[in-house]
Amino acid sequence: GHEAVLSCPYVSKVSLLMVTWKMKCSACCLLAYRSDRNETRKLNCSERMMWKYLPGSDPALRIYPVNLGDEGNYSCEIVSSAGNFLLFSSLTVIVPPVVTLTCDRSGVVVCQASAGKPAADISWIPASNQSTEEEVRHPNGTVTRVSYVGWVNSTLPTVTCLVTHPATNQTLSL
């Protein structure tokens, strides 16, 4: 859902003739610019893929909003008076999980980190060696983690779930 910008640096003192972005797969996006005609072309590209700036001054690729299908390897080829230059970029998409904390009727506290990529880590305060964890891997590459801890005979008034993930850290308490 956020913006991804893949840069394709070149020395601006060298005259740029052509820039081409390609996604590494069959029948995928091709984004090209020719400076002599001041012409841009798009082939098999979604509307979410575009030039971030004017391609003649900065040929960065902008993807907005990013989705999981955009993950993969990209190449940028620059043709200039100094020669041809090829740059490779790898785009990894990170998805923050949706976090919930509930307590069922039997006194089991359930902390769930849904549809994150990569999988989130779940821990408890106070620390518990009585917790159990389940993991569900979804076809789109996301993961749901669920952690359970018993809270029936606890003398402590609060239980806190800590969810750690590259895109977000969340703390929920009951």
Q: Say yes or no: 83 and 8 in one domain.
A: yes
pLDDT digits (tens, 9 = 90+) for 8-59: 877 665 677 888 888 876 667 889 999 888 899 988 888 999 999 888 888 8
Q: What percent of the chain has pLDDT over 70?
A: 93
Q: Domain of 167: which CATH number?
A: 2.60.40.10
SS3 129: coil
pLDDT surpassing 90 at residue 94: yes
Tell me which residue of 47, 54, 43, 57 sits closest to 9, measured CA to CA.
Answer: 57
Instruction: Report residue 59 CA to chain centroid gap.
Output: 22
pLDDT on residue 12: 62
Is the distance from CB of 101 to CB of 111 less than 8 angstroms?
A: yes
Q: Say yes or no: 118 and 159 in one domain.
A: yes
Q: Say yes or no: 67 and 122 in one domain.
A: no
Q: Global pTM? A: 0.77
Q: Say yes or no: 84 and 160 in one domain.
A: no
Tokens 């305060």 correspond to 125
CA distance 5 to 61: 6
The number of domains in the chain is: 2
Phi (first) and psi of residue 111, to 5 degrees: -110, 125
pLDDT on residue 116: 95
Q: Say yes or no: 75 and 108 in one domain.
A: no
Q: Say yes or no: 110 and 133 in one domain.
A: yes
Domain of residue 18 covers 4-91
Q: Say yes or no: 43 and 66 in one domain.
A: yes
